[in-house]
Structures are given as C-alpha cells and as structure tokens.
Amino acid sequence: MLTQHLALLGFDAVSLLQQLDKNLALSFQDGVLSLNHQDNIEAPLFIDFNEPQLAYRLQRVNHEQVVKACRIKKQENIRLLDATCGLGRDAMLLQQAGFTVTAYERHPVLAALLADALRRLPADISAFNLQLGDAKSAFNNDYYDVIYLDPMFPSTTKSARVKKGMHILQQLHQQEVDDSIQLFSAAWQADCQRIVIKRPQKSSPITTQKPTFQINGKTCRFDVYQRR
C-alpha cells in the first residue's frame, strides 16, 4: 500500500526509501503518510494543513506577518517563489492570502510528506504548486514577483504533534549544508521585485546588504529587500 500511495503522489518508492537512515521509516496508515523513528514510533512526523491552529491562522491570513512582508502595495496576482518550503505552512498561508505560490523542497522525503498533506486538503482550499528540487534552478527560468527564503531550521512551533516529530526532521536534514548565503546571492541575481528573508528574531542578517525594511514578530522577523 505504501508503494502504491507514493506512486500516486508521483514518487518512486525504491529511490525515496534509499534517502532514509536505517532507523527511519515511512508508513501509510489511516490515509496519512508519516515518517517514524524506530525508537519512538508513537511520535511520527507528518504534515496536516487541516489542523485547528493552522485553520485559525488561515481564517485571518491577512494579519499574518509573512503576508504583510510579501504583499506588494496596489498589486494583485503576485507570483511568489518559496525557495525553502520546509513544513509548508508559510507557503499555505501565502497561497490562501491570494498569492500564486510555487514552493520548492529539495529533500524528497519531506516533499512526499508535503504532497500527501496537499492531497488531503479540503476542496475549498487551494493548494500551492509543490516542486521537488533546488529552487536556485528556477530563479532565472521563470519570473516571480517575490522570492521568499526561510533558511532557518523550523524548530519553533506550538503544534504538539510537530514538536514530537522535530527530532525526526533534524535527523532528516543532518547531512545538509547551510547554503543560505548562496541562496540569497542567487535570488539577488534573479529578475524579481522583492526578496523576503525570514529570520529568528535575534539572529543577524544573512547578508551585509541592508534590508529596505523589516517586519518584526515575537519569535521571528522578515527582512524585506525591495528591488524595484
């Protein structure tokens, strides 16, 4: 059943499972794809865009700081590239705020969890366009009004389910190298109106270039670079 479900999502099970450490395993139960650690099978990592906390945020999406940071005044139909999709929450918030979002996730296992969550969306909620791969390849292949970067590790959340699975996410990314500076440099060369970088509130900018403006929140801030 797992193999069939992954094929339905557009993933080859054999190549996908080769991406996992020996103590991690994918499972498909009760219609949900999840990633499990053999030492704590009661705390799987899965993505649920229908959970109550996110549903509340989606209902008041125009109050979200990420939306305020990415929105361009007096412009509609904003095309946005989320270069670091992660758990997909910001991409979902931006999509529901009226942006046309293309989101890239380069880890195939996390991309599969995202694709599964998008499959379970209610019919009245539009899905963002999920792509597997390195977003740098898309910067100059298509035009986007806004490029959004969230290079920080997604370790802050109030969702108990996700908190329990964060150690799995850390293990999934343990071999990855922080290329946030290179990602920003590549975005800077792209033809876009705005680059938005999400950072932990007290962290330093990832570049020496001064942002056009910043939007601050309790735990994070958004450095906004207006290109034109």
How do the pLDDT tens digits run along the chain, 228 residues long? Answer: 999 999 999 999 999 988 888 888 899 999 999 998 877 666 788 999 999 999 999 999 999 999 999 999 989 999 999 999 989 999 999 999 999 999 999 999 999 999 999 999 999 899 999 999 999 988 888 899 999 999 865 444 444 444 555 667 777 766 667 788 899 999 999 999 999 999 998 888 888 889 999 999 888 999 999 987
Q: Which pLDDT score, from 0 to 100, does residue 36 have?
A: 87
Q: Which pLDDT score, from 0 to 100, does residue 158 have?
A: 45
* DSSP at 211: P
Q: How far apart are CA 90 and CA 3, in angstroms?
A: 29
| pTM reported for the whole predicted model | 0.90
Q: Which pLDDT score, from 0 to 100, does residue 157 have?
A: 45
Q: Which pLDDT score, from 0 to 100, does residue 161 have?
A: 44
Q: Which pLDDT score, from 0 to 100, does residue 155 have?
A: 46
Exposed/middle/buried for 160, CB within 10 Å: 0-12, 13-18, 19+? exposed
Instruction: Give which of 73, 198, 81 is closest to 146, Cα–Cα.
Output: 81
Amino acid sitting at position 177:
V
